Chains A and B, each alone.
Chain A
Amino acid sequence: MSFSIGGGGMRMGPGGALERFGGRDEAHAFDPQVALRLLAFVRPYWPQMGAALLLMFVASLLTLATPYLVKIAIDQNIAQGDLPGLARTALLIAAAFAGIYLTAAGQRWFLSWVGLRVLATLRRELFRHLQALPLGYHDTHIVGVTISRVINDVGVINDLLSQGLVTLVGDSVVLVGIVVAMVSLSPRLALLSFSVLPLMIAATLLFTRRAQRAFRQTRSGIAAVVGDLAENLSGMRVIQAFAQEGATFEHFDEVNRVNRDAHISAMTLSFIFLPTVEFLSMLATAVVLWFGGAFAVRGEVSLGVVVAFLAYVSRFFDPIQELSQLYTTVQAAMAGGERVIELLDTQPEVTDRPDAIEMPPIAGRIELDHVSFAYRGEVEVLHDVSLRIEPGQTVALVGPTGAGKTSIANLVARFYDVTAGAVRIDGIDVRDVRQRSLRAQMGLVPQDPFLFNGTIAENIAFGRPDATDAEIEAAARLAHAHDFIAALPEGYRTEVLEGGVNFSLGQRQLICIARAALADPRILILDEATASVDTVTEAIIQGAIERLLAGRTALVIAHRLSTIRNADLICVVQDGRIVEQGRHEELLARGGLYRELYEKQAWSPERVAGG
């Protein structure tokens, strides 16, 4: 309630402040270092920021001026019957409002532009950084968590700018301005009005803490509903097969109810808070009317002053509330900001040396020279491994799960760096060349046939985006993939759905082989798939692999007997050592571990991640 003039468009009011609790929840103490690092991203846009702050300042001043102008209209124009004066004042007020519109719109626009620009820049930087991080990072971090860093956590920069900064600067200006205006109009009335302030601050602080807890419960409530539902929908076949619809429903009902009640409790809190704020604000108004009215009757202040006070008092509480909640916003921003900075500060373990050279065209001689290796700070998984592969040879790595086969392959592609010894290709230490020039001449067929969203053609051309259609088709033919692709209604333009679900496992493997074939690598790393496909497909894949391997140096983590038999060299890996080397017949004849494994048929699968 007020002499309703001048609702500044920049504030959210208690309702808006409430919704803010729907956001992040973790709290962190203010860390000036984190704040400075984050603000550094704003530096390139300081002209826009400066303009926004300036506009905000002007808007606040104009907002403060309007009640004063209204006072003039009442005291000097209306009370004294000054008709042209009233028109003049009205025009002035209108002009002030037009000014408020322009400055508020401009300030909003600049500020959100900068916020979005900074967000986009941060995401860009994070993505670039992620590309530079070694495979070790990706092996040890859950994809969803990293996504949340890049997509959600960077949002805190925007919060810090638009809520933190705006609240701090804008609200302070308004608050100081109101205090100055009120005190200069009537110090006594001003002091009396301020008496409500402690109550307001206490109420806000009390509510803030409870609301945080309550809204956190609503978030975990809805998360539980989503989780339960997602799991039961995925497992619906089993639920129906076991006729357990009733029991699972009861559980869902429980989760659903908890969520409902959490929402009702949280909202109930705010239904207490909002009327309380309204009442306190009305209390201040009542104080102004009670005492101001008495002063006016006694002629100690003018009626215009009372009206102006009403306007100022009503505008007093929004900034107070926002400032008392500012700390919460900043705390949340700190938590997110810290995570973003942590990611940006993760050092790539595998980096190009400053004097790294371009890898010359590879002939394909691979040499592991007394190589030892441990994944980041963990126990050593390879001990003093030496191996020599001649150009064009196919080497099969076999051995039980966890023996170190994948680690050997990872080191050749320099996904990791050795902890001792050296990996040399054509006599050049892989640490002396640029990673990209090395990998551009390598190909990989992963154990899990990974396809990207996009068309089949794009997937095959992944390693050589500039490949022509004819080249793509040739690669697909080599991989025996052309026939099934051509049979699709949209052929090579068929979109691959998330996870490649619209293709069978065997088809995905063939596409991955075509991808490697098109890249025409000198060295090929092949992690054979272990999942079973039907007999015919199995034979097709085998044929495709054989053609892919022809004329290249290949390192195969082998699960298929046929691959193993055709290999030029078989390395039996156990406990981080190569314990036997030789051809199939030789090793069988030797009667060692290979023979034992062979008889137990234990070419057990190893996870790509290794370790």
Chain B
Amino acid sequence: MTGSNPSPSSPGFLRTLLRALGYLRPYRRLSIAAYLALLCSTGLALLVPQLIRATVDRGIRGDDLAALRLAVLGILGVTLIKGVLSFLLGRWTEIASQGVAYDLRNALYRKLSALSFSYHDRAQVGQLLSRAIQDVDRIRFMTGRALLRLAEGLVLLIGAALFLAFMNPSLTLLSLWTMPLMAYWALRFSRRFRPLTLAVQQQLAVLTTRLEQNLRGARVVKAFAQEPAEIGRFDAQNDRWFDLSATAARLQALNLPLLDLIANLGSVFIIWYGGRLVMADRLTLGELVAFSTYMGLLIQPVRRLGMILPNLATAVAAGERVFEILDAESEVKDAADAYPLPPVAGHVRFEHVSFAYFGRNKVLDDISFEARPGQVIALLGPTGSGKSSIINLIPRFYDPTAGRITIDGHDIRRVQLSSLRDQIGIVLQETTLFATTIRENIAFGRPGAGEAEIIAAAQAAQAHDFIMETPHGYDTYVGERGVTLSGGQKQRIAIARALLKDPRILILDDATSSVDSDTERQIQLALERLMAGRTSFIIAQRLSTLRLADLILVLDRGQIVARGTHADLLRTSELYVQIYERQLRMPVGTEEGEVSR
């Protein structure tokens, strides 16, 4: 959100500005109509002082009541038409600029869902959100009201100058000098004021974070009796916030009334100098009033000009951040000649596959193995040995840096992504459920699934019973607005979700945090059903899973150091035995668990 604004003279500025304005193209008819309406309404606004002049000179001073009434009616009529026009142009610009925001957000969403895991690994959700919300809003403001005000100000300024010059050139020159001064001062003020408001906002964010930390850590704060220190820290940030805000407020208090003062001194000058002209009969009183009215028309737009110009710079900076996302290249995408993957049997081959995240440290080194249709492949190894990387490569969340992966003989880089992922079911380590109903969460991979299918999947995943115990069964909301599910429950819903998809290939990162034994057994049951008849890849945490496996791959530092069945490996692999003893037999209570099973 911060970042320095690009200077208007930098080469990218104009390009970004034009690109942002390019989003108005679908709304060009509306925009053109709006600007035409603006031209008309500004023209009408410029007519009003002339009508007032007529009222004063011909009506009041010329003692012509009919002319006076005609002029007054004229003023009312003009105002009415101007009102209708400004309604139309306001609405049209709003439709166009809201449309720009809508299109941009949709484009961002599409892009973000096309970008591969490696992009999302590095991007922060908060950052992306701020671009899609605040930055897009800045662009919307620029393509809408800001541009409109800018045009309005310019048209008014030029029009008023022409009318004034027509009435009295010397008075025009002598009275319009306040306008550039006002514009300059407004610009100068917002240049100084903007960074200050940014600083105030940031400081408020710091203060909020301090408070949030304190509240989240309340237990620790109390347990260590650190309330006074916490108060000290909060006060320091609070005082800083006050100082910054007070500086900003002082700047505002001194400068905003100053703009009025400049404008007002300009009108005093008109009265004095214009009054002299009237006395010398070189100007009528009506013209003097008209002069003053023109000045009044100009004050607001000119003030706004000064405020809007910095907005333009902010909007361009926002545009750069938004386009940065739109221009990002996905590291994983369909090849130009990609074909849909036909229904597969599930024969997966890794051929000399190497992989490194972000092209840096190698996490997989020359991995080759084969999974025949229906086989269960278990992956085992210490943290960081490359287990997760192997399973991430199969649905092409990332592409290998060397070697290739085939499914039923098809190189997965040659087939269409969606056709590949449609045939793979995945239960990830961190179970993400969406804030919607349980039903929709289970049907996530197959939105059209019928009620019976959903229930069948939930039953197979041992989830049906606890779902029925929730307040609204399958229609219960999960997440913030609904029920909170335990880790084990979430995992079973994720299993149901994968089951419903009925995939040929199954990927399972099974690192359950400790759950009680009943749940444990239920998950085990669900998993066994899930794997039946599919090619399955499992990061194994349970002995029972290892026993089921047709092939166990023991990984260490990115390489397969041993492979075989449980019985084979117990005899042949020292690392396997070591892991088996420490990881699979030791954890809480499992020590004699085997005996009791």
Within A241-298, which residues are at the interface with B (CB < 8 Å)? 241-245, 247-249, 252-253, 256-257, 259-260, 263-264, 267-268, 270-272, 274-276, 278-279, 282-283, 285-286, 289-290, 293-294, 296-297
CB distance from A199 to the nearest CB of B (A): 14
Contact of B215 among A77, A89, A138, A435 (CB under 8 A): A138
Instruction: Tell which of A143, A232, A236, A257 has the most Cβ of chain B within 10 Å.
Output: A236
**What residues on B are CB-neighbors of A143 within 8 Å?**
212, 215-216
Confirm or deny: B347 has a beta carbon within 8 angstroms of a beta carbon on chain A.
no
Q: A97-B261, A242-B426 are in contact. Are A77 and B275 (CB under 8 A)?
A: yes
Q: Is the CB of B293 within 8 A of A599?
A: no
Can you list, as one digit per residue, whether each of B261-294 has a CB less than 8 Å from chain A (1) or not (0)? 1011101110110011011000001000100110
Q: A233-B128, A237-B120, A561-B588 are in contact. Are A116 and B68 (CB under 8 A)?
A: no
A286 vs B75: C-alpha distance when bound (angstroms)? 7
Contact of A444 among B63, B68, B84, B219 (CB under 8 A): B219
**What residues on A are CB-neighbors of B573 within 8 Å?**
none
Confirm or deny: B565 has a beta carbon within 8 angstroms of a beta carbon on chain A.
no
Instruction: Tell which of B238, B257, B417 has the most Cβ of chain A within 10 Å.
Output: B257
Number of interface residues of B (CB under 8 A): 148
Q: Is the CB of B257 within 8 A of A100?
A: yes
Confirm or deny: A127 has a beta carbon within 8 angstroms of a beta carbon on chain B.
yes
**What residues on A are CB-neighbors of B357 within 8 Å?**
none
Dominant SS at the A interface? helix
Chain-A contact segment, one of B187-195, B513-521, B551-559: B513-521
Can you list, as one digit per residue, whether each of B118-160 has a CB less than 8 Å from chain A (1) or not (0)? 0010000100110011000000000000000000000000000
A3 vs B257: C-alpha distance when bound (angstroms)? 19
Closest B residue, CB atoms, query A271: B90
Contact of B211 among A151, A236, A446, A519 (CB under 8 A): A151
A222 vs B140: C-alpha distance when bound (angstroms)? 14
Q: A222-B133, A238-B428, A306-B60 are in contact. Are A271 and B224 (CB under 8 A)?
A: no
Within A540-557, which residues are at the interface with B (CB < 8 Å)? none
Q: Is the CB of B278 within 8 A of A248?
A: no
Q: Is the CB of B382 within 8 A of A147?
A: no
**What residues on A are CB-neighbors of B114 within 8 Å?**
245
Within B165-217, which residues are at the interface with A (CB < 8 Å)? 204, 207-209, 211-217
A120 vs B245: C-alpha distance when bound (angstroms)? 10
Contact of B444 among A7, A97, A242 (CB under 8 A): A242
CB distance from B232 to the nearest CB of A (A): 9
Q: Is the CB of B249 within 8 A of A444?
A: no
Q: Is the CB of A257 within 8 A of B102?
A: yes
Chain-A contact segment, one of B11-19, B105-113, B527-535: B105-113
A532 vs B252: C-alpha distance when bound (angstroms)? 55
Confirm or deny: B572 has a beta carbon within 8 angstroms of a beta carbon on chain A.
no
Confirm or deny: B349 has a beta carbon within 8 angstroms of a beta carbon on chain A.
no
Contact of A101 among B91, B257, B269 (CB under 8 A): B257
Q: Is the CB of A440 within 8 A of B113?
A: no
Confirm or deny: B220 has a beta carbon within 8 angstroms of a beta carbon on chain A.
yes
Contact of B293 among A3, A87, A127, A150 (CB under 8 A): A3
Q: Is the CB of B224 within 8 A of A443?
A: yes
Q: Is the CB of B397 within 8 A of A453?
A: no
CB distance from B564 to the nearest CB of A (A): 21
Q: A7-B299, A90-B272 are in contact. Are A290 and B91 (CB under 8 A)?
A: no
Within B91-106, which residues are at the interface with A (CB < 8 Å)? 91, 94-95, 98-99, 101-102, 105-106
A73 vs B274: C-alpha distance when bound (angstroms)? 11
**What residues on A are CB-neighbors of B213 within 8 Å?**
452-453
Confirm or deny: A439 has a beta carbon within 8 angstroms of a beta carbon on chain B.
yes
CB distance from A150 to the nearest CB of B (A): 6
A233 vs B68: C-alpha distance when bound (angstroms)? 66
CB distance from A381 to the nearest CB of B (A): 18
Instruction: Tell which of A146, A233, A437 has the most Cβ of chain B within 10 Å.
Output: A233
Can you list, as one digit per residue, whether each of B30-72 has a CB less than 8 Å from chain A (1) or not (0)? 0000000000000000001100100110011101010011011
A565 vs B547: C-alpha distance when bound (angstroms)? 30
Confirm or deny: A353 has a beta carbon within 8 angstroms of a beta carbon on chain B.
no
CB distance from A465 to the nearest CB of B (A): 5
Chain-A contact segment, one of B314-322, B360-368, B405-413, B579-587: B579-587
Confirm or deny: B163 has a beta carbon within 8 angstroms of a beta carbon on chain A.
no
Contact of B513 among A257, A263, A531 (CB under 8 A): A531
A232 vs B422: C-alpha distance when bound (angstroms)? 19
**What residues on A are CB-neighbors of B63 within 8 Å?**
297
Confirm or deny: B254 has a beta carbon within 8 angstroms of a beta carbon on chain A.
yes
CB distance from B178 to the nearest CB of A (A): 12
Contact of A462 among B106, B220, B260, B261 (CB under 8 A): B220
**What residues on B are CB-neighbors of A216 within 8 Å?**
none
Q: Is the CB of A260 within 8 A of B102?
A: yes
Chain-A contact segment, one of B305-313, B457-465, B589-597: B589-597
Contact of A239 among B113, B225, B296 (CB under 8 A): B113
Q: Is the CB of B224 within 8 A of A290?
A: no
**What residues on A are CB-neighbors of B69 within 8 Å?**
290, 293
CB distance from A151 to the nearest CB of B (A): 5
Q: A78-B278, A97-B268, A237-B432 are in contact. Are A124 and B238 (CB under 8 A)?
A: yes
CB distance from B214 to the nearest CB of A (A): 7
**What residues on B are CB-neighbors of A101 within 8 Å?**
257-258, 260-261
Confirm or deny: B86 has a beta carbon within 8 angstroms of a beta carbon on chain A.
yes
Task: Tell me the number of A-to-B contacts counted with CB atoms below 8 Å.
Answer: 412
A283 vs B361: C-alpha distance when bound (angstroms)? 76
Q: Is the CB of A442 within 8 A of B223?
A: yes
**What residues on B are CB-neighbors of A446 within 8 Å?**
219-220, 223
Confirm or deny: B340 has a beta carbon within 8 angstroms of a beta carbon on chain A.
no
**What residues on B are CB-neighbors of A100 within 8 Å?**
257, 260-261, 264
Confirm or deny: B421 has a beta carbon within 8 angstroms of a beta carbon on chain A.
yes
Q: Is the CB of A532 within 8 A of B276?
A: no
Contact of B231 among A7, A131, A450, A608 (CB under 8 A): A131
Q: A131-B231, A230-B129, A443-B223 are in contact. Are A286 and B76 (CB under 8 A)?
A: yes
Q: Is the CB of B75 within 8 A of A285?
A: yes
Q: Is the CB of A289 within 8 A of B55?
A: yes
A306 vs B286: C-alpha distance when bound (angstroms)? 12
Contact of A264 among B65, B75, B94, B216 (CB under 8 A): B94
Within A503-535, which residues are at the interface with B (CB < 8 Å)? 515, 519, 525, 530-532, 534-535
A583 vs B271: C-alpha distance when bound (angstroms)? 100
A276 vs B271: C-alpha distance when bound (angstroms)? 31
Confirm or deny: B395 has a beta carbon within 8 angstroms of a beta carbon on chain A.
yes
Confirm or deny: A605 has a beta carbon within 8 angstroms of a beta carbon on chain B.
yes
Confirm or deny: B447 has a beta carbon within 8 angstroms of a beta carbon on chain A.
yes
Confirm or deny: B239 has a beta carbon within 8 angstroms of a beta carbon on chain A.
yes
A437 vs B225: C-alpha distance when bound (angstroms)? 8
Q: Is the CB of B117 within 8 A of A240?
A: yes
Confirm or deny: A560 has a beta carbon within 8 angstroms of a beta carbon on chain B.
yes
A461 vs B223: C-alpha distance when bound (angstroms)? 14
Confirm or deny: A108 has a beta carbon within 8 angstroms of a beta carbon on chain B.
yes
Confirm or deny: A420 has a beta carbon within 8 angstroms of a beta carbon on chain B.
no
A77 vs B267: C-alpha distance when bound (angstroms)? 16
Q: A8-B260, A465-B229 are in contact. Are A231 and B435 (CB under 8 A)?
A: yes
CB distance from B410 to the nearest CB of A (A): 17
Q: Is the CB of A289 within 8 A of B68?
A: yes
CB distance from B353 to the nearest CB of A (A): 20
Confirm or deny: B87 has a beta carbon within 8 angstroms of a beta carbon on chain A.
yes
A123 vs B207: C-alpha distance when bound (angstroms)? 10
CB distance from B322 to the nearest CB of A (A): 14
Q: A240-B421, A289-B75 are in contact. Are A267 and B52 (CB under 8 A)?
A: no
CB distance from A349 to the nearest CB of B (A): 13
Confirm or deny: A226 has a beta carbon within 8 angstroms of a beta carbon on chain B.
yes
Instruction: Tell which of A241, A256, A559 has the most Cβ of chain B within 10 Å.
Output: A241
Known: A135-B218, A443-B223. 7 other contacts (CB 8 A): A127-B234, A235-B434, A256-B105, A282-B75, A444-B224, A535-B586, A601-B517
What are 6 contact pairs spanning A and B, CB under 8 A? A78-B279, A229-B132, A232-B113, A249-B113, A253-B106, A278-B82
What 4 pairs across the A-B complex have the smallest Cβ distances?
Answer: A4-B296, A601-B589, A275-B83, A444-B223
